[in-house]
């Protein structure tokens, strides 16, 4: 396994940013930057061994600083939405930025995707290479309580896996929900819509939401709805039955906190397969509904509507305000740990 580091530019404040490359002996190559702990690219072979980058993104730091679509980003302190941009913890109300209508989205105005993470380790061994990044989110940042020390580790293995491990500790009771917001296109970034990707989700239920996409607190069966991916179906098969495409949280089968199968995606032109396993209780399927032709990505490719999809492993949206949902509270002395693994193959 090989690994390397190179400069990726400077922020407007003058902070140096790096680009880390991890390469497996089987040809997979991942590039990660410590700005936003972003997955910049992932090159994966097709059925003929041809490598293509299967993630949407940019070639320059400046574009990542400008972006508002979270390409490849580590999202926090709380991924997804918190209703009315507020929550109560031990009788204290915490007010957050309302950056998605009346709601709080993906950590606020300057979430984890907009900060420079410190590199802890960039190294490798015979069967894997990894980069470990850390960030201290200070008490009160974006309205959240507690000094939160957070670590994200990207690991590329010779088993054709990209593993993402999250760890965190706090000095004050807080809430936490971390995810990765990569937009995937298994045919290769910039090759068009993802509607013919075949998706299977290990989820028999989903969280019902209101018109602002905040859960109402109960779940429902996916059976006989456009959200039924219990058997493999093309993403686009029933997408027109929804108002604006998929932007839904699915309740994963299996025990929260235990590693379990989450999703399988197959793209027929390339033969690429992506299988996801996670310790998280949910996954958000998002189909790039708000991408438009104004976004120019890597290689000058135009990223239009539905040219990428996201499978964001996560806790359920608005969990701090929904006692019936799996808890997102992190106490002092506790260690938060979460893992998501993407495994790639081709047929």
Q: Catalytic: which of 141, 202, 280, 312?
A: 312
pLDDT band of residue 26 (cuts 50, 70, 90) is confident
Residue 241 has φ and ψ, to the nearest 5°, of: -80, -10
Q: What is the mean pLDDT of residues 324-347?
A: 98
pLDDT band of residue 27 (cuts 50, 70, 90) is confident
Q: What is the pLDDT of residues 136-169, one digit of tens each?
A: 999 999 999 999 999 999 999 999 999 999 999 9
Is residue 275 assigned to a domain? Answer: no
Known catalytic membership, residue 48: no
**Percent of the chain residues topping a pLDDT of 70:** 100
Q: Which domain holds residue 36?
A: 2-191+284-339
Is residue 153 assigned to a domain? Answer: yes
pTM of the model: 0.97
Closest CA to 321 of 313, 329, 330, 312: 329
Is residue 98 assigned to a domain? Answer: yes
Q: How many helices (H) and strands (E) does the chain have?
A: 1, 29
CATH number for position 308: 2.70.98.10
Known catalytic membership, residue 93: no
Is residue 230 assigned to a domain? Answer: no
Strand partners, 286: 247, 310
Q: Catalytic: which of 104, 106, 141, 181?
A: 181
Strand partners, 312: 284
pLDDT of 164 reads 98
Specify whether the CB–CB gap between 307 and 194 falls below 8 A.
yes
Is residue 14 assigned to a domain? Answer: yes
Q: Which two tokens stand for residue 9?
A: 């530019």
Specify whether the CB–CB gap between 135 and 114 falls below 8 A.
no
Number of independent structural domains in the chain: 1
66's enclosing H/E stretch is helix 61-66
Is residue 129 assigned to a domain? Answer: yes
Specify whether the CB–CB gap between 346 and 270 falls below 8 A.
yes
Is residue 140 assigned to a domain? Answer: yes
Question: Distance between CA atoms of 96 and 64, rounded to whole angstroms?
Answer: 24
Q: Hey, CA dihedral for 198, 203, 208, 213, is it positive or negative? A: negative
Mean predicted lDDT score pLDDT of the chain = 97
Is residue 62 assigned to a domain? Answer: yes
Residues 6+ apart with CB under 8 A from 128: 1, 155, 156, 157, 158
């Amino acid at each position: 396994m090989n690994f390397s580091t190179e400069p990726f530019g400077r922020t407007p404040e003058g902070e140096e940013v790096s680009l880390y490359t991890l390469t497996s002996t089987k040809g997979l190559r991942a590039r990660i930057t410590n700005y936003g702990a972003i997955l910049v690219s992932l090159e994966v072979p097709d059925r003929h061994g041809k490598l293509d980058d299967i993630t949407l993104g940019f070639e320059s730091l400046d574009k990542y600083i400008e972006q508002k679509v979270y390409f490849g980003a580590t999202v926090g302190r709380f991924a997804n939405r918190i209703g009315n941009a507020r929550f109560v913890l031990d009788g204290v109300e915490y007010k957050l930025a309302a950056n998605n209508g009346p709601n709080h989205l993906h950590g606020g105005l300057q979430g984890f995707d907009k900060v420079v993470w410190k590199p802890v380790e960039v190294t490798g061994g015979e069967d894997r290479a990894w980069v470990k990044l850390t960030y201290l989110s200070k008490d009160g940042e974006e309205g959240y309580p507690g000094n939160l020390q957070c670590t994200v580790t990207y690991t590329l293995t010779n088993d054709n896996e990209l593993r993402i491990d999250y760890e965190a500790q706090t000095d004050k009771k807080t809430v936490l929900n971390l995810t990765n917001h990569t937009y995937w296109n298994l045919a290769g970034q910039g090759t068009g819509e993802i509607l013919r990707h075949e998706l299977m989700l290990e989820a028999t239920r989903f969280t019902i939401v209101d018109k602002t996409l905040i859960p109402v607190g109960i779940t429902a069966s996916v059976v006989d709805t456009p959200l039924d991916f219990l058997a493999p179906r093309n993403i686009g098969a029933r997408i027109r039955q929804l108002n604006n495409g998929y932007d839904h949280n699915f309740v994963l089968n299996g025990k929260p906190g235990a590693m379990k199968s989450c999703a399988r995606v197959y793209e027929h032109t390339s033969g690429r397969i992506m299988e996801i396993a996670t310790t998280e209780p949910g996954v958000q399927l998002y189909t790039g509904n708000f991408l438009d032709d104004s976004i120019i990505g890597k290689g000058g490719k135009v990223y239009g509507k539905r040219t990428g999809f996201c499978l964001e492993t996560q806790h359920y949206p608005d969990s701090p305000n929904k006692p019936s949902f799996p808890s997102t509270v992190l106490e002092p002395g506790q260690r938060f740990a979460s893992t998501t693994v993407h495994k790639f193959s081709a047929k």
